[in-house]
Structure 1
Amino acid sequence: MPYLLALVLSVSLLSGCQSAYYSAMEQVGVHKRDIMVDRVEEASEAQQDAQQQFTSALDALKALNQFDGGELEAAYNSINDQYEDSVDAADKVSSRIAAIEDVADALFVEWQEELDLYSSAKLKRDSQAKLRSTKASYQTMLSAMHRAEQKMAPVLDTLRDNTLYLKHNLNAAAIGSLQSEFNDLQRDIQRAIKDMETAISESERFIAQLKKA
C-alpha cells in the first residue's frame, strides 16, 4: 500500500510539473503546439540517430565475421560498445515518443475544452473539424513511431546475445558460431530502419498539418 501511494503521488507530481511547465512556456509565448512540433522533430532526429547506430552495429558484426586473427578482447569490446550505444539510441527514441504523447494529451484536452468558448457556431465547427483531422494525423504518426520502436527490440536482443556469447567464449570458434546470427540481425535492422523511415515521413506530414491547423 505505501508503494502504491508513493507511485500515485509521483505520477501526480510529474503531471503537475508538466502542467506548470506548459503554463510557464505559454507565459513567454511558447504554446503547446509549438512544443509539439519541437518534440516531433526531436523524435525524428532520434530515429535518424538510431538508424545510423544500428547500421554501425551491423558493420561491426560484419567486420567480426571477417575476423582472421588479432586481439579477441578488442573484438569483444567493439561489439559491446556498439550494443551499449544501440541501447542508448533506442532508449532515446522511446523517451522522445513519450514526450510527444505527454504534450499531445495536454494539447488535445485544451483544444477540446476551448471549443465551448466559441460564440460563433461556424468557427466552432471549423475548429472541431481541424481537431478531428489533427488527431487522426497524430494517431497515424504515433502508430508508425511505435511500430518502429517495437522493431528495435529484436535488434537489441540479437546484439545482446552476441555480446554475451562473445564475452564468455573469447575464441575464434565462438566468432564462427556468431556468423549464423548475422543474416537474422541484418534482416531485423533493415526492417527497423524501414519502419523508422516511415515514421519520419509521417512526422513530417503531421508537422505540416499541425502548422496549418
Structure 2
Amino acid sequence: MPMTDFVLQRVALLLLLGAWWFVSSGCQSTYYAALEQLGYHKRDLLVTRVKDARDSQEEAKEQFKSALEKFGDVLQFDGGALEDKYNELKAELDRSESSASAVHNRIEAVENVSEALFQEWEGELAQYTNENLRRDSARQLNAARKRYTSLMRSMKRAESKIAPVLSAFRDQVLYLKHNLNAQAIASLQGELTSIETNIDALIREMETAIAEADAFIKALGSS
C-alpha cells in the first residue's frame, strides 16, 4: 500500500527528531531548517517546548509531594517488613530523580529553540525596507526576549531547588538501606521537618514557574 505524503512527512519528522539527539549544536540550523520544510516553525516549537517544560515541572511537583508522603509513612512504621518500606521509598526516589531529569532536559530544549528563534528574528530585521515595520518587529522581539528571560529565570530557580531535596532523599534512603531496623526509623525522624521545608520551597518555586510559562505561552500566541 503506497504511503501518502502525510505519512511520509511524519516518518521524516520522526527521523529528524531522532537524529536531533545526535547532532552537535553546530548542526541546529540544519535541523530547524528541515523542520520548517515540514511546517514546524521555531515559534511553534518554542511554544510546544515551553508547554512541555511547564508540564514536566507540574509532574515533578506532584512527584515530590508523593515522595514526601511516602517518607512520612515510613516514619510511622510500627511493625512489619521494614525492607518493604525501604523498597517503596527507593521507588519514590527513582521516580523523583527521573522527574528531575525530565525538568532539566525540557528546560534545555526550550533554550535551544529560543536561541535559534531570536537569532533568526534579529537577523531578519535588516531585511525590512519599511522602517516603521522594522521598528515594530524589533519592539516585539525585545518584549519576547524579556518575557523569555523572566521565564527562564523562574524555571531555573525552581530547578535549583530540586538538587537539595534529592540529596536529602538519597541520604535517607541510603541510611535506611544500611540500617533496616526500628532505630534507623527513629534516627530519620529529625530529618522530616527539613525535608518538608525544602519541598515546600520547591513547590512554591515550581508553581511560580508554571504560572510564568502559562503567561509566556499566552503572550507569544497573541503577539
TM above 0.5, one fold?
Answer: yes
2:133 to 86, 107, 123: 123
**Equivalent residues in 2 for 1:140-155, closer than 5 Å:** 140-155=150-165
Residue of structure 1 equivalent to 2:111: 101
Residue of structure 1 equivalent to 2:217: 207
**TM-score of the two chains, using structure 1 as the length reference:** 0.92
1:23-79 per-position Cα deviation (integer Å, ceiling 9, x unaligned): 111112211010000000000110011011101100101101110001011011111
Superposition deviation, residue 209 in structure 1: 1.4
Structure 1: which 5+ runs fail to align?
Answer: 1-11
Structure 2: which 5+ runs fail to align?
Answer: 1-21
Residue of structure 2 equivalent to 1:86: 96
Paired AA for residue 208 in structure 1 = K
Runs of 4+ in 1 over 6 A off after TM superposition: none
Q: Does 1:182 align with 2:189?
A: no
SS at match of 1:109: helix
1:172-191 per-position Cα deviation (integer Å, ceiling 9, x unaligned): 00011111111111111111
1:127-173 per-position Cα deviation (integer Å, ceiling 9, x unaligned): 00000010000000000000000011111011000011001011000
Indicate the RMSD between aligned Cα atoms, in angstroms: 1.4
Residue of structure 2 equivalent to 1:41: 51
Paired AA for residue 24 in structure 1 = A
Paired AA for residue 116 in structure 1 = A
2:206 to 196, 199, 203: 196
Residue of structure 1 equivalent to 2:81: 71
1:104-141 per-position Cα deviation (integer Å, ceiling 9, x unaligned): 10000000000000000000000000000100000000
**TM-score of the two chains, using structure 2 as the length reference:** 0.88
Superposition deviation, residue 208 in structure 1: 1.3
SS at match of 2:195: helix
**In 2, Cα distance between equivalents of 1:27 and 1:134:** 24
1:173 to 178, 183, 200: 183
Superposition deviation, residue 17 in structure 1: 3.9
Superposition deviation, residue 13 in structure 1: 4.2
Residue of structure 2 equivalent to 1:157: 167
**Equivalent residues in 2 for 1:129-140, closer than 5 Å:** 129-140=139-150
